[in-house]
Structure 1
Amino acid sequence: MLTKTVASLAILATSALAQVPICSKYATALNITETQLVEDVLVLALLGNTTANPPVAGILASSSPVLNFFNGAGLTTNRNNQPTSVNFLDGGGAASLQNGTLGTTGSNQLTLANHLVEYVGFLLNCNETFPVYTGNPNMYAVHKFMNISQTQFTYFDTAIENATKMWDLGSWL
């Protein structure tokens, strides 16, 4: 599965060289903004949709094996090279996502959501007016203290992949 993810990321990265960027192509086809496209895919991956085909398990589901990376249950966040507990659901959690907001102003949730949107927007080669990624570009440093198992990695990866398929973006993975 790691190989599949690396291959998927390589495809995403090379999309930056494409003449018609994936982000623009699908946002135009769906008649939404590029930002809305990326936000909708991420919200679907976070909340899940068990009636979708394929089903999206939901990264923030109560049974999710990766929930502890988001709810502050463990020392999994790297702050100043120290393992730290951070609640990334402090901006309303799933309820705010269901209501169409990524989180409350100043919350860890909104910061993380914005970074995810920016990062995925970069991978999809969204246009130059799309928000620039402002998080730490060193993904190793970001995830250093998570001790991610293969099961957790696969769960997260599958949720993102199935969310893209729900939006008919899966054909580029």
Structure 2
Amino acid sequence: MRLQIPTLLTLLTTAVPLTLAQSRPNDTTICDFYTTALLKDNTAANQLKLLTLIVNTVVIGNYTTPNVGIAVPGILAPGKFNGTEVNLAPFFDGALFSTNDGKSEGSAVNFLDGGGAKPLMENKAADDDKKDSRQYNLLTHLYEFFGSLLGCSQQGMDDYPAYNGVASMYEVHKFMNLDAFQIGYFIQQVALSAASFGVAKEDLEVVGAALDKLFNKRCSPATVVIPSAGPQLESMCIASSCPLDPMAACGLYDKEGTGTPPKVANASLAGNTSSTASASATGTASATASKPTTTTPTGGAAVERVGSFAAVAGAVLLAFAL
């Protein structure tokens, strides 16, 4: 089964009302262009702010206004990808033995220990007094990892640190046994989040293709994402149903294609964590979102919250960095 990511992004962006008057020059990175377009000054602080807005929206759905009217359910919301039910939240609320803590098997880790959704709605990674939390570590690493992926030229300055987490996304995710539907749903939420801020269809396709190539192929050879780390194994889709990379190097992946899901640590939290197929992985995508339920001012800006995430407290993402 092969996910048609460019087709997915075309479907997602057909009706996107563009907010930017000019297209991105080829010699300008996506990060630099949209930082300038949306926040005016292309500083390290503004680049970090842009990535914070995008990543936090991926996690909890739409929470800022203005946006261009694209509904983002967020990675916490159970949804569907290509007619297949997906629920990613239990991977990171302590429900499963799925986190790689450097042991020979997964650990059950709660990534909701930094204040949940509330600080994310305030454009933070965690509450100010919880900067030693798993949540803070996870979210800040996400801001940094995506900054490198999108070419933020000012990253590495005091206001926007370089990524210093684990560089191999395979090592981070190896005990999750993620499949093509789960990775596809994650990529979909990234695309929707970026689209909600007016990122052009062409740039969404660039980002989607990069994520698909890096993470959604089984047994991909080592590649460079973090320059200082050199080539690393980046495949996150390791279930036997994942599409095999044309240049497959399966011998490098000790957990490749095992088909063994993580064991349940907390049955009351776990729910249904497997992807329940009701359609082929090839085709159109579907994601559901409830209507905005609250609108409150935070930090001088109106904040919209899409969906009901109180039950899972907010700050879980398909973790890129531990």
Using the TM superposition, give the Cα deviation of residue 168 of structure 1 relative to its aligned residue in structure 2, in angstroms: 1.7
Matched, 1:56 2:72: yes
Matched, 1:118 2:144: yes
Distance 2:27 2:184 in 1: 31
Using the TM superposition, give the Cα deviation of residue 170 of structure 1 relative to its aligned residue in structure 2, in angstroms: 4.5
Distance 1:75 1:170 in 2: 39
SS of 2:106's equivalent in the other structure is strand
Distance 1:30 1:96 in 2: 22
Matched, 1:150 2:180: yes
Aligned length: 162
Asked if 1 retains the 8 angstrom alpha-carbon contact of 2:68 and 2:197, the reply is no
Using the TM superposition, give the Cα deviation of residue 86 of structure 1 relative to its aligned residue in structure 2, in angstroms: 1.0
Distance 2:52 2:73 in 1: 17
TM-aligned CA distance change 1:90 to 1:170, over 3 Å: farther
Using the TM superposition, give the Cα deviation of residue 4 of structure 1 relative to its aligned residue in structure 2, in angstroms: 2.6
> TM-score scaled to structure 1, two decimals?
0.83
Higher helix share: 1
Matched, 1:44 2:66: no
Q: In terms of mean alpha carbon deviation, does 121-130 or 36-45 score higher?
A: 121-130
Asked if 2 retains the 8 angstrom alpha-carbon contact of 1:48 and 1:57, the reply is yes
Residue deviations 1:19-75 (CA, integer Å, cap 9, x gap): 212111111111261110010001111111399743211112366611112211111
Could you tell me which residue of structure 2 aligns to residue 34 of structure 1?
Answer: 47
Percent identity over the alignment is 35
Distance 1:150 1:138 in 2: 19
Asked if 2 retains the 8 angstrom alpha-carbon contact of 1:65 and 1:155, the reply is no
Distance 2:167 2:73 in 1: 27
Cα RMSD, aligned residues only: 2.4
Using the TM superposition, give the Cα deviation of residue 93 of structure 1 relative to its aligned residue in structure 2, in angstroms: 1.1
TM-aligned CA distance change 1:102 to 1:80, over 3 Å: same
Matched, 1:100 2:123: yes
| Structure (1 or 2) with the larger CA radius of gyration | 2
Could you tell me which residue of structure 2 aligns to residue 4 of structure 1?
Answer: 5
SS of 2:70's equivalent in the other structure is coil
Could you tell me which residue of structure 1 aligns to residue 99 of structure 2?
Answer: 77
> TM-score scaled to structure 2, two decimals?
0.46
TM-aligned CA distance change 1:95 to 1:162, over 3 Å: same
Residue deviations 1:126-157 (CA, integer Å, cap 9, x gap): 02434211111111111101111333222211
Could you tell me which residue of structure 2 aligns to residue 13 of structure 1?
Answer: none
Asked if 2 retains the 8 angstrom alpha-carbon contact of 1:55 and 1:162, the reply is yes
Residue deviations 1:76-99 (CA, integer Å, cap 9, x gap): 110113301111111011122123
Using the TM superposition, give the Cα deviation of residue 164 of structure 1 relative to its aligned residue in structure 2, in angstroms: 0.6
Provide structure 2 residue ranges, at least 5 long, that are not aligned to the other structure: 10-25, 41-45, 80-85, 205-322
Residue identity opposite 1:59 in structure 2:
I
